[in-house]
């Protein structure tokens, strides 16, 4: 059942089909016979030097297993040189959920902004309230990509305690950070957010951001 769901969304290149079929079989066996053995085999498919499509596929399978034993290899995969592998690892960590939160929070201090970015993304997917304080702090990250994802993740958590911190990002230098902030305030904000957005509607230099602000204000008024 799990292999069918997985291959429905992702298929490696034709020449890799034999190996991917083998990974599918391992995924089935993990739930029926020996999850630890299956996980070990999947992790081997993610080792450096293995084709990047298989590393991505292995990351996807670990998320499908929803097993805490997959957290460490997925954390390592957040440093993979391939962007798609990093993205899939973040998604899988988010799917695993609460058991991965502590490790992801610690990665918010990583020197590599790409790791911080993906860690914030994964924390948003978990929707964990435990992640909220660290995501608020990440709104001040020197890298705009991380600020953008921190704002987005805070919106996903649905926490209203980030309202004040998010409002300060409405004047961020980066348009995409502001846009992400507006969307997050639409999901978590109250009267203070509405007032701040009304001001930003008159002052923001971006047509696209102002469009998002208008829609968000309408949403908050409902």
Q: What is the DSSP string of 78-95?
A: TT-SSHHHHHHHHHHHHH
Check residue 180 and give its pLDDT.
98
Does 220 have pLDDT greater than 60? yes
pLDDT band at 196 (very low <50, low <70, confident <90, very high): very high
- Other C-beta atoms closer than 10 Å to the C-beta of 144 total 16
Distance CA(166)–CA(85), nearest Å, equals 30
CB 61 within 8 A of CB 88: no
The string of DSSP letters for 130-154 reads GGHHHHHHHTT-SSHHHHHHHHHHH
Map tokens 């490790």 to a residue.
103
* Token reading at 39: 């996980």
* Residue 92 backbone phi and psi in degrees, to 5: -65, -40
Does 10 have pLDDT greater than 70? no
CB 147 within 8 A of CB 172: yes
Distance CA(93)–CA(75), nearest Å, equals 8
Distance CA(90)–CA(85), nearest Å, equals 9
Q: What 8-state DSSP symbol labels residue 213?
A: H
* Token reading at 155: 């919106």
Does 206 have pLDDT greater than 90? yes
> CB under 8 Å to 13, separation ≥6 — which residues?
53
pLDDT band at 36 (very low <50, low <70, confident <90, very high): confident
Check residue 75 and give its pLDDT.
95
Top-confidence residue, 115 or 31: 115
Q: Give how far Cα 83 sits from Cα of 16, 52, 118, 202, Å.
A: 20, 10, 10, 37
């Amino acid at each position: 059942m799990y292999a069918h769901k997985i291959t429905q969304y992702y298929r490696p290149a034709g020449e890799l089909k034999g190996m991917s079929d083998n990974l599918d079989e391992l995924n089935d066996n993990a739930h029926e016979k020996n999850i630890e053995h299956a996980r070990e085999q999947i992790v081997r498919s993610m080792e450096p030097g293995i084709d990047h499509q298989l590393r991505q596929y292995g990351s996807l399978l670990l998320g499908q297993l929803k097993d805490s034993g997959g957290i460490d290899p997925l954390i390592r995969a957040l440093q993979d040189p391939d962007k798609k592998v990093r993205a899939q690892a973040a998604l899988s960590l988010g799917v695993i959920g609460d058991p991965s939160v502590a490790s992801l929070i610690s990665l918010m201090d990583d020197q590599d902004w790409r790791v911080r970015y993906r860690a914030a993304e994964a924390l948003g997917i978990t929707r964990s309230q435990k992640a909220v304080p660290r995501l608020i702090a990440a709104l001040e990250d020197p890298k705009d990509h991380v600020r953008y994802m921190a704002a987005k993740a805070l919106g996903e958590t649905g926490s209203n305690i980030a309202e004040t911190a998010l409002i300060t990002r409405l004047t961020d230098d980066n348009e995409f950070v502001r846009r992400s902030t507006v969307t997050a305030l639409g999901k978590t904000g109250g009267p203070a957010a509405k007032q701040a957005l009304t001001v930003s509607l008159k002052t923001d230099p971006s047509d696209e951001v102002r469009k998002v602000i208008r829609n968000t204000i309408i949403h908050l008024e409902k």
